[in-house]
Structures are given as C-alpha cells and as structure tokens.
C-alpha cells in the first residue's frame, strides 16, 4: 500500500470550494481536485433542486514519480496531472534552491530540468488552473560513494592566453557524457572551444576545455558545473554539489624557447620585450628538454630541486631561485648561475631551461600562470603530453574535439 503524503493543503478561490482527497495507487501525491458550482431553481428537476447539492466537476489525479524516504536519485522529478492542466509546480530542496522545470504542451506533466540529488529532502507543491493545490515530500537515498573534483584556474584569477579550464576527478568517471553535459562554459566574446577527456599525470580522470586558438586578452570566462545529482558511474560515485569558477585572460604574452639557438624570448602583443641566452636539457637522453607548447603552471619562487624526484639519481640537490613550473614531470624555467658557461652556447642542464639570476628574475616578474612557452628545436626528447601539465595545445584542433564525450 502506498503511504499518504505528509501533508495536504487545500486552497480555493472565493465561492468555488475545492475538495482535495488522497487517492490510493498514485506514486506520492494523489489528489482529486473537484470544483462545485451553485445550482439554479430550474435545475430542481435534474436532481439539484432549489438550494440543493452542487454537481461535481471532472476529477483529476496528480502523481509524483519519486516517493518515500529512500527514493532513487539521479532522475528528473516528474509531476503528472490525470486530466485538466497544471498551473505551477514547485520542487524545493530542504535548505536549498528550487529545481527549475517545464510544464508539457498539454499542461499535464511537469519535469525538472535537473535530476534529484542524493541524500536530499524535497518538498513538492502543485497547483492546477482551477485553483486547487496540494503538497507532498520525498527524500532521496544518500550516496554510497561521493566523487569530488579539483578545478583550475582558481576563482577570480587572471591567467595567460593558453590556460585551459581543467577538472581533475577524485574517482573514475565512466559516464563521461552525463558529466560533460553538466559543464557549461560561458565567455564574454563567444570563444569557440571544446572539452577533451584525458588522463592526468597523476593517473586520475581529467577533462579540459581549451579554445580553438589562444584566448583573446581581456576575455572573461565562467564555468558552471551543475553536477549535483549526476552519477559518475561504477566505482566513481555521485556528485553531491555544484561548482563554479570565473577568471579573466590577461596580457597577450608568449615565451619562445629555441633549443637550437639556446635563446629565450618573451613577446607581448607580438613585440619582443626580452631576448636572453639560456641553456636547456642535455640532448640524447632523459636529461633532454621537452618540445612543444608547455603552459606555465605555477610560479614557485625559491624551491629545493632534487634529481631523485624525477628519476635522475643523485645528480643534483640545489636550492633554485625564480622557479617556473612547466610540466608535472619536473621541467622548469629558472635561474641556473652554475651553468653560466653554457648560456647561449649549448644545452647542458638536467632538463630545465636555465638562465642567469638577473634574466630569470626579470622573466619571473613578467610572466603569469597560463602563459605559453613555445619550445622548438631538435635537442628534445619528445613533445609535452596533454596530461603532463597543460599540453592540450600539442593536439590538433580536430583531434582535440574528438576527445569530447558528446
């Protein structure tokens, strides 16, 4: 037997009483909305009589597809009227916002735009065009496993023209299409871009949104990740909250690194503002530098660099100034005064792009996270992979679009 809803409210316009009665067999909310009108004296022969009983109008049943205290999350909420037309439907989460939704063309069904989230208590209020209303409620089952994520760039930041939107998930995402549909990117100038799924250097699932070409300076970007109530699939778990981030694109800056000429140049708005000698990774082995486009991930200042952390044994253990991270695998641009004899002459570092103290400090002051380092030349061990930092720019546009789940 189906339990009655917790409460039923009756409302009716003056002079038109409306009777609401629970009907067995409905999902959660079963009501009969019956309008009565006063009968005239001429109706007495038809059974109403002078001052007699009102004639009932046609009955209508309203049902909700979710019910009880352990309703299954992940599906839209549907409220259906057996006959007549719905006027309004409100479905509100306890302590949260109401779900938006739409009434069908025939006026009989309301469907929420988003699914019901796990572990949430909802109140339902439906009104028909005749003035009747009723309330009910249900609670969805709690998530047995929760998926979370890490967003880049940070909220309200200003970043370089190559910075992608990047989302790394704590748990595997099997239903990538469902997740991607919940991710909405809005830009101030209708920038063309696409999501692409990849494996992060950490081994976790990741999805990045990059423009077709570098961002235009001044572009404002917003991500609305309406993930609450989305199931990421087996072993992944449910998302139980939404996420939002906004950022702005800064100056049009590109750092050009020429491995063959052993020089580094900073260009702003197409004009060269720095051109300095450097020494990159020793060619012919694991100490060689990567080529391709690497995006500045972070400005880390003075840090301790130890060769054992990148698989190079005990080759070095140094405190390094003006450190600018380019990949997760440990490639940096930084000050390297111990390598001064090779600046502008040869590549003789352990994979990083080294400069004098003064030149590294000057570059460090001017670049920002998200600036592209375009690395060219033969003295490289390969191209920066898309998951090793932000290497999406090393994938053709068509191949990047193919990485979308939609």
What residues act catalytically? Answer: 334, 352
* 307 sits in which H/E element: none
Strand partners, 128: 86
Alpha-carbon distance of 71 to 229, in angstroms, equals 13
Strand ranges inside 212-295, DSSP E: 220-225, 243-249, 253-258, 263-268, 271-277, 289-295
Listing from the earlier edge strand, what are the strands of the sheet with 98-99?
98-99, 86-93, 121-128, 133-139
For 394, list phi and psi in degrees, rounded to 5. -90, 5
HSE-up of residue 326 (Cα within 13 Å, Cβ side): 26
Q: How far apart are CA 81 and CA 63, in angstroms?
A: 7
User: Cα 166 to the chain's mean position, in Å?
Assistant: 9
Q: Pull the structure tokens for residue 112.
A: 């929420």
Instruction: Residue 86: name the closest of 102, 65, 70, 109 by CA.
Output: 109
The DSSP H or E segment spanning 182 is: none
Phi first, then psi: give them for residue 307, nearest 5 degrees: -60, -30
Please state, in angstroms and rounded to a whole number, the distance separating the CA atoms of residues 206 and 231: 16
Count of C-beta atoms within a 10 Å radius of residue 216: 14
């Amino acid at each position: 037997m189906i339990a009655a809803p917790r409460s039923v409210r009756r409302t009716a316009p003056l002079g038109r009483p409306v009777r609401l009665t629970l009907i067995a067999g409905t999902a959660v909310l079963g009501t009969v909305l019956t309008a009565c009108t006063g009968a005239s004296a001429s109706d007495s022969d038809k059974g109403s009589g002078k001052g007699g009983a009102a004639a009932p109008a046609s009955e209508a049943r309203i049902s909700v597809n979710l019910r009880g205290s352990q309703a299954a999350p992940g599906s839209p909420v549907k409220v259906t009227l057996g006959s007549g037309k719905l006027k309004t439907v409100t479905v509100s989460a306890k302590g949260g916002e109401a779900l938006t939704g739409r009434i069908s063309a025939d006026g009989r069904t309301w469907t929420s735009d988003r699914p019901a989230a796990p572990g949430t208590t909802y109140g339902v209020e439906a009104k028909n065009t005749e003035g009747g209303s009723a309330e009910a409620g249900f609670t969805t089952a709690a998530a047995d496993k929760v998926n979370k994520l890490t967003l880049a760039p940070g909220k309200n930041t200003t970043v370089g023209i190559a910075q992608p939107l990047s989302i790394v998930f704590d748990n595997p995402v099997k239903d990538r299409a469902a997740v991607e549909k919940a991710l909405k990117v809005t830009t101030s100038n209708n920038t063309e871009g696409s999501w692409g799924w990849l494996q992060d250097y950490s081994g976790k699932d990741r999805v990045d949104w990059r423009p077709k070409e570098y961002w235009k300076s001044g572009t404002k970007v917003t991500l609305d990740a309406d993930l609450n109530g989305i199931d990421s699939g087996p072993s992944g778990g449910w998302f139980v909250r939404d996420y939002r981030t906004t950022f702005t694109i800064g100056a049009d800056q590109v750092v050009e690194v020429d491995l063959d000429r052993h020089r580094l140049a900073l260009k702003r708005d197409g004009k060269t503002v720095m051109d300095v000698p450097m020494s990159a990774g020793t060619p012919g082995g694991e100490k060689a530098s990567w080529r391709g486009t690497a995006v500045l991930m972070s400005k880390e200042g003075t840090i301790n660099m130890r060769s054992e952390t990148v698989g190079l044994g005990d080759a070095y253990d140094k405190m390094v100034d003006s450190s600018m991270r380019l990949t997760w695998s440990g490639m940096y641009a930084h000050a390297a005064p111990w390598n001064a004899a090779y600046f502008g002459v040869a590549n003789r570092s352990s994979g990083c792009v080294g400069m004098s103290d003064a030149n590294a400090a000057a570059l460090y002051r001017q670049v920002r996270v998200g600036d592209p380092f375009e690395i060219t030349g033969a003295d490289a061990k390969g191209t920066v992979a898309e998951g090793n930092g932000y290497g999406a720019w090393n994938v053709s546009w068509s191949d990047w679009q193919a990485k979308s789940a939609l």
